[in-house]
């Protein structure tokens, strides 16, 4: 019994240590692995486009290049739209600030009435949380009153000394201050330029990877098949096909879904009179990639913009109706028809993986966590030893018969929509 417990503890410790080193390695190799992983997923998305171009008698090299230029143009167009809308938001910010200040005052008054904390105390507590300028020479009233005599005795001498020093070395402090200011500006400019060129380099490197993944995809597939025994080649071929199919269906479907959602959000928010409706619509559509939380964040952004842009409760009601209708259309019409049922993942595992992806690689980790988990599920489902993990990652046996009966109305609506749109 003791030996069995020791063995379990040993295995558990080895798993914990191995996972710790694994995730530590992912964080350390982020600069190398992130563009490579994103490029692999984008290449899977563009495989149908590249294959279609090749069937039109276009050589593989040119087909790969055109596919890369197409997906690059899409991202540049999205960036241009967001940049233009942010510029418009910056121009409207003074008006938004004017509307925001009275609301903040009302909130402070409400807090003062309910809690007894005065507005001055609230501002003081806020000021404590914000680092400000400190004057090391400032003293308390008690200290200054006790040392008035000593300080007054030395004032004349110090004044004479300072005057003589300033006459001997004029503008020394101004020169030092301007030098520090120039140095800070140069440092900030250097950091910005370095970050900008680093981003551009990573952006271009990612699409270079996409080009070569598309160009040499047959060689990569054959290389993987050569690494496995002959009796496992058929299984490996099946895993590669299923993994590519899952990634294509999910990523390409999500890309189309983002476009549809952005259009629906834009129409609803424009009718509701929300300023910068295009920016909010694009952000809300992109945030839908984050399961469960993304839609909530997008809704909060739209509500905030509706309230601060002067539309009031009418605009907030319009935003709520827009998001409610859009979410229904997404869940029961667009998502089943566009994305399909290829990525059936356990909701709990999905949330854990998304949070873990954000902790390891930030926003990029959140976006690629679900397709990566879908690929892992395909691999685990086809390897007998790992099939329990594939079952854990999947959504099999989650819904009971009672849940199915409760969801009868939505199931009927879903089936009706699929019959009409297919």
Is 80 exceeded by the pLDDT of residue 94? no
The tokens for 216 are 């040499």
What is the four-CA torsion angle of 49, 53, 55, 59, rounded to 10 degrees?
-130
Nearest to 42 by CA among 222, 205, 282, 237: 205
Q: Which range, 62-71, 255-264, 340-349, has the best average confidence (pLDDT)?
A: 62-71
Task: Report pLDDT for 170.
Answer: 47
Is 80 exceeded by the pLDDT of residue 100? no
For 137-168, how does the pLDDT look when each residue is reduced to its tens digit (9 = 90+)? 444 444 444 444 434 444 444 444 444 444 44
Task: Report pLDDT for 148.
Answer: 46
CA-CA distances (angstroms) from residue 330 to 68, 264, 371? Answer: 28, 10, 19
Task: Report pLDDT for 352.
Answer: 85
> Three-state DSSP class for 397?
coil
Go through the chain and tell me how many residues it has: 422
For 159-213, how does the pLDDT look when each residue is reduced to its tens digit (9 = 90+)? 444 444 444 444 555 555 555 667 677 677 777 787 777 888 888 899 999 999 9
DSSP 337: I
Contact 346, 390 (CB under 8 A): no
**Percentage with pLDDT > 70 across the chain:** 73
How many separate helices (H) and strands (E) can be counted in the chain? 16, 0
Is 70 exceeded by the pLDDT of residue 376? yes
For 379-404, how does the pLDDT look when each residue is reduced to its tens digit (9 = 90+)? 888 888 888 888 888 877 665 444 54
- Quick one: pLDDT band at residue 62, thresholds 50, 70, 90? very high
For 121-136, how does the pLDDT look when each residue is reduced to its tens digit (9 = 90+)? 767 776 665 544 444 4
Q: For the chain, give the mean pLDDT.
A: 76
């Amino acid at each position: 019994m003791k030996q069995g417990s020791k063995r379990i503890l040993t295995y558990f410790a080895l798993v914990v240590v191995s996972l710790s080193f694994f995730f530590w390695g992912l964080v350390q190799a982020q600069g190398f692995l992130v563009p490579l992983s994103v490029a692999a997923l984008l290449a899977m998305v563009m495989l149908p486009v590249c294959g279609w171009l090749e069937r039109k008698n276009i050589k593989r090299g040119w087909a790969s290049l055109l596919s890369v230029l197409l997906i690059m143009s899409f991202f540049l167009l999205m960036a241009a739209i967001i940049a233009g809308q942010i510029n418009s938001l910056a121009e409207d910010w003074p008006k938004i600030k004017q509307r925001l200040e009275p609301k903040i005052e009302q909130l402070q008054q409400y807090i003062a009435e309910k809690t007894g904390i005065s507005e001055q105390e609230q501002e003081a507590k806020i000021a404590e949380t914000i680092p400000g300028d400190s004057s090391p020479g400032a003293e308390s009233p008690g200290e200054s009153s006790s040392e008035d005599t000593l300080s007054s005795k030395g004032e004349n001498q110090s004044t004479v000394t300072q005057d003589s020093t300033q006459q001997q070395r004029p503008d020394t402090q101004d020169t030092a201050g301007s030098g520090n200011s120039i140095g800070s500006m140069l440092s900030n400019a250097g950091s910005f330029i370095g970050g900008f060129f680093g981003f551009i380099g990573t952006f271009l490197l990612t699409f270079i990877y996409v080009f070569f993944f598309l160009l040499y995809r047959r060689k990569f597939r054959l290389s993987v098949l050569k690494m496995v025994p002959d009796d496992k080649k058929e299984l490996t071929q099946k895993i590669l096909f299923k993994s590519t199919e899952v990634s294509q269906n999910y990523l390409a479907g999500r890309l189309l879904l983002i476009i549809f959602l952005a259009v629906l959000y834009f129409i609803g928010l424009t009718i509701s009179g929300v300023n910068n409706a295009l920016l909010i619509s694009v952000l809300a559509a992109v945030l839908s990639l984050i399961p469960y939380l993304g839609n909530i964040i997008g809704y909060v952004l739209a509500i905030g913009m509706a309230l601060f842009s002067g539309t009031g409760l009418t605009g907030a009601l319009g935003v709520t109706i827009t998001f409610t209708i859009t979410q229904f259309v997404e869940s029961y019409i667009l998502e089943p028809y566009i994305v399909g049922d290829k990525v059936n993942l356990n909701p709990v595992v999905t949330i854990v993986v998304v949070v873990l992806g954000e902790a390891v690689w930030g926003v990029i980790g959140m976006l690629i966590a679900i397709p990566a988990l879908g690929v892992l599920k395909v691999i685990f489902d086809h390897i007998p030893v790992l099939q329990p993990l594939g079952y854990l990652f999947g959504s099999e046996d989650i819904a009971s018969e009672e849940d199915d009966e409760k969801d009868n109305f939505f199931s009927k609506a879903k089936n009706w929509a699929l019959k009409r749109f297919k």
